[in-house]
Amino acid sequence: MQIDIAARHMPLEPTIRDRVEEVVRRLDRIGERIITAHAILDVVGGMPWVELRLHLAPGQLLVATASADDHRTALDLADARMRRQLRRSHTRPRAHRHALAT
C-alpha cells in the first residue's frame, strides 16, 4: 500500500507524519483491499482540518474529513469515520454483472 501525506499552509511535523502512517496502517488491517492512501492536513479558517482518501481494489474511493482544535484530534475523528465506511463497504452486497443475452 502506498501512503501519501500532504500538508498545506503549515509545516509537517515528524510526530504528525508518524501518527498518520500509524492510523493508515491500522486501517489497512480492516480493509485489506486498500491500494493507496492519501492524507491531507490543512488549516481552514484557523481550524486544523484532515482529509483521508482510500482507494480500494475494485475502483472504490472512500473519503473522510474532520476538523477539530488540533490535527491529532481531527485525525482521530477522520479515522473513526473511515473505519465506519470500511466496515460498511465490507458488509454491502456487491453487484454481480451478468452478460447480456444476445
Decide if 94 is inside a domain. no
Where does residue 12 rank: exposed (0-12), middle (13-18), buried (19+ CB within 10 A)? middle
Report how far residue 65's alpha carbon sits from residue 16's, in angstroms, rounded to the nearest whole number. Answer: 16
pTM of the entire structure? 0.83
| CA dist list (Å): 70 to 30, 74, 85 | 26, 6, 23
What residue numbers bound the domain in which 70 lies? 2-89
User: Can you read off the three cell numbers belonging to residue 80?
Assistant: 473513526
Decide if 8 is inside a domain. yes
Total number of domains constituting the chain: 1
Decide if 102 is inside a domain. no
pLDDT digits (tens), the chain, 102 positions: 899 999 999 999 999 999 999 999 999 888 778 899 999 999 999 999 999 999 988 788 999 999 999 999 999 999 999 999 998 887 766 666 666 666
CATH number for 69: 3.30.160.100
The answer to whether residues 50 and 12 touch, using CB atoms and an 8 Å cutoff, is no
Decide if 99 is inside a domain. no
